[in-house]
């Protein structure tokens, strides 16, 4: 059996175990590309996933935005450490001090402190982002700018509006003209009407009978485009990765090699699935390797992109199910181990006294979920209920429970070792006996009860 045959088997087993209808995986090296397709684009049509099938890439879009923003920095149109109000003088936020302090660097590194998951829909007109930003006056300021890392979609929509103002273009037009077109990304889109002319996947979720069903409201609000709006084929995503690895040469590159390097440099210590964040990129370690990457989660789609700068290689995975990330990371973990000898080591566990575990217990909330933490022998149980999301038909949904094992006094891990770490941590403030927040799924969730 060839290595490719084994990869096909790993993909099929990972998807079948979780009810994932379709997946496409791409491997990029200096020698070229390998792409493997699996399953169907829709359980209703039975159309197979093809190499040119379009998938929602979700928050991988954030790296595209950061790349465009760095181009504008190089052109002198933006500065990373200039307060955003220099570009948006009419900006109103709930916290006047934060309004004066938030910079583009804060937005690109998830450290602005803005309430992070506001997916308000302001229609498809060219004023959608302007109206969204005007609505941020109602957003909570979770913490002062620069104090903590907490994943923030809202900050990227705000950054998208800054790009509109300094370029004089709609965000999607600026992205097309200044980044996508120079890189030759002809199968990368934002609007559903553009997607409909090509093969595309439907998003799926698991219904009450345990079977995958098509998600109908897969179109994202235009106000979310800067944070997660891209649709792309696996080859366009690999081409974008190739540019960031120096493997895709174009006559007029949209960003200098120095600018690409700046995006990949650590800016802030992160948590959960990353050790640090660059500008747009998540940064972590697998043994002695230093991958960079980003995931994407939308309504019925999961995507992941991992770059290995030292090896000049990348792995991309696109799936059409809300649970697709588990399958994608399983496949990536196997693939990086098989091709590059990178096998993540299980973190060393420690013992925490029962009294210490008990003080971490409680109910925590953030805009998308309610989290209950309960002490258990050797760790904690985390039970989360998703209370809202991108869907216009919200439904409460219990997520699979996680057993958290301590790897530090306030840091826990869950599940098997994967190519991307899976951690949860607790954040204290002002010498408190109990944590103010749990940081899970990238977000700071505030303690609301014992």
Q: What is the pLDDT of residues 421-441, one digit of tens each?
A: 999 999 998 878 999 999 999
What is the rounded distance in angstroms from the CA atom of residue 280 to the CA atom of residue 315? 18
pLDDT at residue number 208: 84
Query: How long, in residues, is the chain?
Result: 450
Query: In this model, does residue 18 exceed pLDDT 90?
Result: yes
Q: Given 3.40.50.2000, 3.40.50.150, 3.40.710.10, 1.10.40.60, which CATH number is that of 1-343?
A: 3.40.710.10
Our measurement of the distance from residue 15's CA atom to the centroid of its chain's CA atoms, rounded to an integer in Å, reads 20
59: annotated active-site residue: yes
Both tokens of 177, joined, read 């003209």
CB count within 10 Å of CB 85 equals 16
Query: Which residue, among 65, 37, 64, has the nearest Cα to 53 in the 3D structure?
Result: 37
Average model confidence (pLDDT) for the chain? 95
Q: What is the pLDDT of residues 329-383, one digit of tens each?
A: 999 999 999 999 999 998 999 999 999 999 999 999 999 999 999 999 999 999 9
What is the rounded distance in angstroms from the CA atom of residue 23 to the CA atom of residue 52? 12
Query: In this model, does residue 110 exceed pLDDT 90?
Result: yes
pLDDT at residue number 392: 64
pLDDT at residue number 394: 64
What is the rounded distance in angstroms from the CA atom of residue 23 to the CA atom of residue 8? 11
- Sorted by where each begins, the domain ranges of the chain are 1-343, 354-449
The neighbouring-strand residues paired with 424 are 412
The set of residues, in sequence order, having a beta carbon less than 8 Å from that of 320 and lying 6+ positions away, is: 20, 21, 22, 23, 41, 42, 49, 55, 201, 202, 203, 204, 300, 301
The neighbouring-strand residues paired with 315 are 27, 306
Both tokens of 62, joined, read 């954030």
What is the rounded distance in angstroms from the CA atom of residue 383 to the CA atom of residue 363? 10
Selecting among 59, 202, 317, 325, the annotated active-site residue is 59
Query: In this model, does residue 113 exceed pLDDT 70?
Result: yes
Q: What is the pLDDT of residues 380-419, one digit of tens each?
A: 999 999 987 766 666 788 889 999 999 999 999 998 889 9
Q: What is the pLDDT of residues 195-237, one digit of tens each?
A: 998 999 999 999 888 899 999 888 899 999 999 999 999 999 9
């Amino acid at each position: 059996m060839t290595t490719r045959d084994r990869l096909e088997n790993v993909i099929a087993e990972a998807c079948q175990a979780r009810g994932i209808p379709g997946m496409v995986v791409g491997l990029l090296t200096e020698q070229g590309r390998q792409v493997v397709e699996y399953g169907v684009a829709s359980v209703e049509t039975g159309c197979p996933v093809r190499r040119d099938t379009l998938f929602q890439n979700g928050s991988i879009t954030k790296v595209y935005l950061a790349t465009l923003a760095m181009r504008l920095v190089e052109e002198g149109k933006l500065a990373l450490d200039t307060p955003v109000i220099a570009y948006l003088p009419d900006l109103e936020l709930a916290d006047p001090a934060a309004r004066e302090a938030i910079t583009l660097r804060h937005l690109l590194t998830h450290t602005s402190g803005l309430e992070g998951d506001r997916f308000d829909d302001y229609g498809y007109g060219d004023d959608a982002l302007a109206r969204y930003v005007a609505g941020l006056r109602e957003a909570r300021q979770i913490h002062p700018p620069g104090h903590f890392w907490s994943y923030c979609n809202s900050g990227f929509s705000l950054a998208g509006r800054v790009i509109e103002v300094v370029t004089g273009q709609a965000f999607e037009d600026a992205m097309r003209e200044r980044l996508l077109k120079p890189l030759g990304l002809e199968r990368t889109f934002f609007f559903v009407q553009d997607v409909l002319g090509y093969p595309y996947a439907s998003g799926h979720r698991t219904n009450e009978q345990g079977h995958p069903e098509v998600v109908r409201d897969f179109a994202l609000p235009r106000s979310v485009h800067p944070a997660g709006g891209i649709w792309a084929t696996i080859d366009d995503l690999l081409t974008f990765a190739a540019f960031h690895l120096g493997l895709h040469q174009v006559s007029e590159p949209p960003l200098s090699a120095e600018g690409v390097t700046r995006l990949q440099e650590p800016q802030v210590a992160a948590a959960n699935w990353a050790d640090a964040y660059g500008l747009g990129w998540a940064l972590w370690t697998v043994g002695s390797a230093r991958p960079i990457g980003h995931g994407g989660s939308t309504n019925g789609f999961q995507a992941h992109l991992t770059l290995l700068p030292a090896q000049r290689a990348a792995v991309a995975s696109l799936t059409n199910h809300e649970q697709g990330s588990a399958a994608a990371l399983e496949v990536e973990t196997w693939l990086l181990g098989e091709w590059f000898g990178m096998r993540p080591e299980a973190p060393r566990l420690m013992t925490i006294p029962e009294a210490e575990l008990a003080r971490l217990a409680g109910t925590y909330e953030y805009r998308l979920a309610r989290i209950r933490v309960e002490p258990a022998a050797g760790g904690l149980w985390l039970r989360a209920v998703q209370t809202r999301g991108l869907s216009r038909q919200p439904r409460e949904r219990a997520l699979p429970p996680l057993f958290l094992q301590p790897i530090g006094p306030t840091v826990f891990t869950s599940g098997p070792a994967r190519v991307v770490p899976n951690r949860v941590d607790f954040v204290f403030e002002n010498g408190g006996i109990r944590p103010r927040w749990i940081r899970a799924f990238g977000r700071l969730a505030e303690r609301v009860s014992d």
